[in-house]
Structure 1
């Protein structure tokens, strides 16, 4: 149920260490327990190879939230969930037990030292764009336009839907 003053936010979810599928599904369960937030949709799960990194394939998904949390508070809640999964950041694009990103936050465009929305790589990564469009096929991104317009740019990135 939507909270008064809530916005629709989209969260990217990915993991490639440990039981990646279980980590992604647990992240969704934890998102459902966030205060002033309702999960209103979850994309199918997808498998992708790491980009600019090494390690096992990733399991990825996108969740749609109705949340009354301010954007920075939502980001902090996502970082807390990552920490609960033992997330470490030894170097850029390191393999991870769990990665949660604020992709979109209503119609807002945010540029702070800790948060950029729309997510800066949103239109360049099939592992984000494909699940996002599976969840919201007619989505128009603030300042960017229809999400479908960016599919051609990620067509060469292998992505496979997996049973959830």
Structure 2
């Protein structure tokens, strides 16, 4: 069975653009995962721990045959391969990959909560998700992405379109 899942990617250490590109490629090359849509890239101010550089954030839609737990394990493996070290909660990172949605499913176990628990409160997730989302209301919430963005009107201003990444060929952002 193939499921459409949505993953949020963020980077604020090193060559952020190249790290995002590598993460997308590595996800796509994993057995049971095919990247189907890629959002624009947005530069955003840090949230939580604010004494750090700005992030580049984006969302990818994937078609996957993996279970939600296997998808999370794969995302964590890609993070590790790209140098992710977990030291400060919400701190600087080479790459962060979060599973936002997995089909229409609600999942809650010790390792994974879907939909992602903070997704509806983060403009830096919702804005790029809107780029790749196909459908009306978000599963479980029964509300549209725009509904949540209206609730976050002020936070929404900190999300600036940075450009795009063509991860299938070598290229830089075409809009900056």
TM-score tier by shorter-chain length is over 0.9
Aligned to 1:161: 161
Shift of residue 91 of structure 1?
2.2
Report SS of the residue matched to 2:21. helix
Q: Note if contact 1:47-1:159 (Cα within 8 Å) is conserved in structure 2.
A: yes
List gaps (5 residues or longer) in structure 2.
Answer: 165-176
Cα distance in 2 for residues equivalent to 1:137 and 1:154: 21
Cα distance in 2 for residues equivalent to 1:154 and 1:85: 32
Cα distance in 1 for residues equivalent to 2:26 and 2:153: 32
Aligned to 1:52: 48
Shift of residue 85 of structure 1?
1.1
Aligned to 1:110: 107
1:67 to 53, 64, 67: 64
Cα distance in 2 for residues equivalent to 1:163 and 1:65: 20
Aligned to 1:38: 34
Shift of residue 154 of structure 1?
2.2
How many residue pairs are counted as aligned between the two chains?
Answer: 160
Aligned to 1:88: 85
For the aligned residue pairs, the C-alpha RMSD in angstroms reads: 1.1
Cα distance in 1 for residues equivalent to 2:161 and 2:17: 12
Report SS of the residue matched to 1:141. coil
Cα distance in 2 for residues equivalent to 1:139 and 1:117: 18
Q: Note if contact 1:118-1:141 (Cα within 8 Å) is conserved in structure 2.
A: no
1:47–1:137 CA distance, 2 compared to 1 (3 A): farther
Aligned to 2:8: 12
Cα distance in 2 for residues equivalent to 1:132 and 1:139: 12
Shift of residue 9 of structure 1?
0.1
Q: Note if contact 1:31-1:39 (Cα within 8 Å) is conserved in structure 2.
A: yes
Cα distance in 2 for residues equivalent to 1:92 and 1:144: 27
Aligned to 1:141: 138
